[in-house]
Amino acid sequence: MSSGACVLTINGGSSSIKFAVYRMDGDQPRKGLRGKIDRIGLQGTHLTFDDPTRKQHDDRGIGELDHRSSADFLLDWLAEQIGLSSIAAVGHRVVNGGARYREPHQITQEVLRELRRVSAYAPEHLPSEINMIELVDERIPGMPQVACFDTAFHRDMPRVAKTLAIPRRFAAKGVERYGFHGLSYEFLMEELARLAGAEAAKGRVILCHLGNGSSLAAVRNGKSVDTSMSFTPAAGLPMSTRSGDLDPGLGWYLAQTEQMTAQQFHQMVNQESGLLGVSETSSDLRDLLGREADDVRAAEAVELFCYQVRKWIGAFAAALGGLDTLVFSGGIGENAPAIRARICEGLGFLDVQLDENRNAAGAPVISADQGRVQVRVIRTDEDVIIAKAVFGMLARAETSQRPSGGVSP
């Protein structure tokens, strides 16, 4: 790999594509150009980017593009900005690798076949991620691509946490609790060790990744013990538009009383529920905080979110046998001090105590000095975990026999 070569990371969702370009700076990847295309499939598709090297920043409309057109636009735009020939490899966040893929893996036709097979595990995510991989292979033939799996962090969860209480024959077909947000959790644990020391990272830790998609993870000795998301990313906490946990009997009830189909139920729990469903106005917690004084529906949505996070923290403290460190991250966890305060208000029984001024300022440590549990705010970075995995794979390939590029057979 030449000294000027870079790695492109892609974090593709159903309505957005986030990207970043990394180069090695000593032994660590350094992020350069980064950005996202959002509102894919909606009116007003947008490109936002920041290039610290050239001191450029922009936010502009690019029409009304579907996912394929947005991906094509991104590759054309990157060709103008950095030249596609400067890219040594592409790393993708892939939401679920099923039971087979538990670590970053170079993408081959065999990997793609398995991802297609398990695409029903995450129909809101995997199909668009597969399409992005195929497009890169089509547009840049021979380009090595690496899949980094969001489920991998939870691969060593105890069997009792993975097992779903349904007939055992389904477990044999891969139906179990996988958990998600693993790239974020991996970064947070690395940062916790760097900031607070190895002993803190080995303690009883609860990680709260709170954003459009939200989940919690219970971690002990650096390993995932349990997590709130389950077989799909729709489980656990109520989120922006996802319901979180529901009574399984609700599907049958709505089929009988509303003639709701399986597809309509899927659409409801993934796109029409959560904060949006309860408030009937917005999926954005910032909007709801601004309206809660005058709109009881907004107030109830905010209260429900905070209550459910608090409840999961209590449950995971029980699973861990106590709590040493609580970490807030994600768009809500990092930027909403009012939400952090409301979540922690009912956790005095765990000796969680916030310092009001530190919390309002978004300090790295927001707990009061007299509290036993250290409460931290850590800004997550999934992309750097992808970049590290790709650079590591490229380095190993250079010291052995370089693998064939592209999505090879």
Active-site residue list: 150
Three-state secondary-structure class, residue 72: helix
Amino acid residing at 44: G
CA dist 168 and 156 (Å) reads 20
How far apart (Å, rounded) are the C-alpha atoms in residues 378 and 329? 6
Reduced to 3 states (helix: H, G, I; strand: E, B; else coil), residue 237 is coil
Q: How does DSSP assign 84-118, residue by residue? A: GGGEEEEEEEES--TTT--S-EE-BHHHHHHHHHT
Residue 405 DSSP class: P
Give the 3-state secondary structure of 4-32.
CCEEEEEEECCCEEEEEEEEEECCEEEEE
Distance (Å, whole) CA 184 – CA 331: 12
Can you say whether residue 58 is alpha, beta or left, with left for phi > 0 and alpha for psi between -120 and 50 degrees?
beta
